[in-house]
Amino acid sequence: MQGRIFAGLFLFSLFIVVGGDAQDPAVSERPVWTMEFIKVRPENFGLALGYLDDQWMRIREEAKRQGEVLSYHRIQETVVVAPGVKTGDPNTVVLLTEYKNLAAFSGREKLFASIREHLPSGTPGVLRQQREDLYEPVGTRMFMEVPDDGKTGLKLLAKQ
């Protein structure tokens, strides 16, 4: 009984959070970003970057040419050293992709598979490695722009 109540409350909270925005054209046409975090094996860092160039970046470039991807970036985490503090991991790479809209994001796997089928077999001079030998995915996050429509945010109530 408590499980059904919990499930019902959970579903109800989802409806409140969504608030009907899924059907709003303004929401469905906003750009969507993904951040994929990968942990590169230190001894294979160069090979991993070559693999990403040959696979991940070539596929994103073709998707960009087709208009489904707006931009993409491969960013290495930087180590910051200050007195008493050391942060960052040089073996962490973030793969950023900006999709045209929610539909482009939802159809990405099918699009990327189609692109893989039609791309030439590989870049000359790049050693063929399995992704699993080079890096491991740590996590993926998805983001959508929140436009400043004047309806939300903080308002100045009084001036001194």
pLDDT in tens, 21-40: 444 557 788 999 999 999 99
- In a domain, residue 96? The reply is yes
- In a domain, residue 81? The reply is yes
DSSP 44: G
Here the tokens at position 129 are: 């490695």
- In a domain, residue 121? The reply is yes
E strand intervals along the chain: 32-40, 69-76, 80-82, 85-87, 92-99, 135-144
- In a domain, residue 82? The reply is yes
The closest alpha carbon to 131, from 116, 115, 120, 149, belongs to 116
- Rounded mean pLDDT for each run of 10 residues along the chain, 160 residues in total: 46 45 66 94 89 92 97 92 87 95 95 90 60 85 79 55
pLDDT at 17: 44
pLDDT at 128: 62
Q: Are 146 and 107 in contact (CB under 8 A)?
A: no
- In a domain, residue 1? The reply is no
pTM: 0.70
- In a domain, residue 115? The reply is yes
Q: Domain tally for the chain?
A: 1
- In a domain, residue 93? The reply is yes
> Residue 88 sits in which domain range?
39-144
b/e code 119-151 from CB counts within 10 Å (16+ = b): eeeeeeeeeeeeeeebbeeeeeeeebeeeeeee
pLDDT at 14: 42
- In a domain, residue 5? The reply is no
